[in-house]
Structure 1
């Protein structure tokens, strides 16, 4: 069977929310490199835009927590590209906070960014994709926190768990035209997050990850490309774990004197 080049995105249009920096920028660059036209968004104008393959992403200022702004982002993509094939809901995150004392405003903002914003953007994208002969793909970037909460992440964990449930619900409702999938991202080494992982920038964390290293943004970007491309036409409602095998259980580390499975 000849499937041609399943990762050729020439003529395809992609939106990456939060795509001006960090993981989102690398996702945008990955799609650009395989021929896609890409629109990224953020709340502020970036100093530079993602570029690859001789193409540069387009930018629209948008706070996707606002339903009208999320819809406007999709409308802008269709006006510029004439279609929309892939939406990557990447914007998200939260600083740590004590669940006992955190303010209602903080909780609302975290839930809005990590759960409501992907919902709003997906709704707008679905309206376009359902009208296209070949539909489209929505990819939600989640977190291991949805499965294994960490101290200080109660609001974030709840929102990300909701995002996983939302993914499965939308996959049921929007098939067969629109595929909706979820990526469970593990610990990811980025320049902005390095300080949060300790003085060594997270190097010691490799001991608790079976693959022996933290993820890098490219690992998540390649997973997005797979879920969106012609290699995954029957994949929908799935949770693709990009976490290097998870984390070695604390009881195992304690028994082994703090070293990982390979004695690192």
Structure 2
């Protein structure tokens, strides 16, 4: 069960895009543990929805890359829940591909999913939130890939860098009623970690290079979202909360040590 440090989201409605697995599911569980009404969306309904105790997320089918699908999603949220307090703009990702050989269509698809789609989702959420007396919070899930080299996922890193610029601009345009912020994870262990890091030995080796001694868990990201979307962070807007366990040990340190031994 997620730990939520006493934050109470009773009566609040939270939408998590891509909230059926991985980081998104961890975020959904954190808000469920804090008593929020949580909606998750994805292209297809999973076998198991995020849940905490008796509380379970609701599911609405949606493809964030489709304007028609997004319009239906937000019309449904408005009709069935009457409000939207927090949007977690989480859907995204990228398979590994060398920039030299990946097709232009592949690059366009990655940027569409990770930059254009989140902008379109945020626009729909803002439309609802601006009409609420209490406004709302739009939270983009960024990535450490926006802030350092991202070999193998270059288009993804570029898209996430664009997200950080987007957050700053939207925070100015949509203030004061809607706060716009980013939470940027470093390396996170999910059910798909083996696709990037191999077996348990590979995951352990990568974890050893992180000062915290481990990769983040999805609940770590969820708990950060709980804070940044709450009244405790009401003055946070246009900013990026970086969660990387202290970063990654610089390769030059290991190289220097190896050379001197």
Work out whether the TM-score is over 0.5. Answer: yes
> Aligned residues, how many?
254
- Asked if the contact 1:31–1:38 (Cα under 8 Å) also holds between the matched residues in 2, the reply is yes
Equivalent positions of 1:81-160 (< 5 A) are 81-160=81-160
* Distance (whole Å) between structure 2 residues aligned to residue 147 and residue 124 of structure 1: 27
The alpha-carbon deviation at position 53 of structure 1 amounts to 4.5
3-state secondary structure, aligned to 1:202: helix
The alpha-carbon deviation at position 153 of structure 1 amounts to 1.3
**Structure 1 equivalent of residue 211 of structure 2:** 210
- Asked if the contact 1:7–1:230 (Cα under 8 Å) also holds between the matched residues in 2, the reply is no
* Distance (whole Å) between structure 1 residues aligned to residue 98 and residue 160 of structure 2: 17
* Distance (whole Å) between structure 2 residues aligned to residue 173 and residue 135 of structure 1: 14
* Distance (whole Å) between structure 1 residues aligned to residue 208 and residue 29 of structure 2: 30
3-state secondary structure, aligned to 2:142: strand
The alpha-carbon deviation at position 72 of structure 1 amounts to 2.1
Equivalent positions of 1:1-264 (< 5 A) are 7-199=7-199, 200-257=201-258
* Distance (whole Å) between structure 1 residues aligned to residue 192 and residue 247 of structure 2: 22
* Distance (whole Å) between structure 2 residues aligned to residue 238 and residue 165 of structure 1: 10
Q: In the superposition, relative to structure 1, how do residues 18 and 198 fare at CA in structure 2: closer, same or farther (>3 Å)?
A: same
Q: In the superposition, relative to structure 1, how do residues 189 and 169 fare at CA in structure 2: closer, same or farther (>3 Å)?
A: same
Greater fraction of residues in helix? 2
* Distance (whole Å) between structure 2 residues aligned to residue 206 and residue 248 of structure 1: 10
The alpha-carbon deviation at position 117 of structure 1 amounts to 1.1
- Asked if the contact 1:6–1:229 (Cα under 8 Å) also holds between the matched residues in 2, the reply is no
- Asked if the contact 1:171–1:178 (Cα under 8 Å) also holds between the matched residues in 2, the reply is yes
The alpha-carbon deviation at position 205 of structure 1 amounts to 1.2
**Structure 2 equivalent of residue 261 of structure 1:** none
3-state secondary structure, aligned to 1:164: helix
3-state secondary structure, aligned to 2:127: helix
The alpha-carbon deviation at position 194 of structure 1 amounts to 2.5
The alpha-carbon deviation at position 6 of structure 1 amounts to 7.4
* Distance (whole Å) between structure 2 residues aligned to residue 83 and residue 57 of structure 1: 16
Deviates more, 1:193-202 or 1:204-213: 193-202
Post-superposition, which runs of at least 4 consecutive aligned residues in structure 1 deviate over 4 A? none
Instruction: Extract unaligned runs of 5+ from structure 2.
Output: none
Give deviations 1:173-232, integer Å, cap 9, x for gaps. 111111111111101111222342133251111222111111111111011101111210
**Structure 2 equivalent of residue 262 of structure 1:** none
TM-score, structure 2 as length reference: 0.93
* Distance (whole Å) between structure 2 residues aligned to residue 238 and residue 181 of structure 1: 5
* Distance (whole Å) between structure 1 residues aligned to residue 211 and residue 81 of structure 2: 42
* Distance (whole Å) between structure 1 residues aligned to residue 84 and residue 164 of structure 2: 23
Q: In the superposition, relative to structure 1, how do residues 173 and 75 fare at CA in structure 2: closer, same or farther (>3 Å)?
A: same
* Distance (whole Å) between structure 2 residues aligned to residue 147 and residue 227 of structure 1: 20
* Distance (whole Å) between structure 2 residues aligned to residue 150 and residue 257 of structure 1: 25
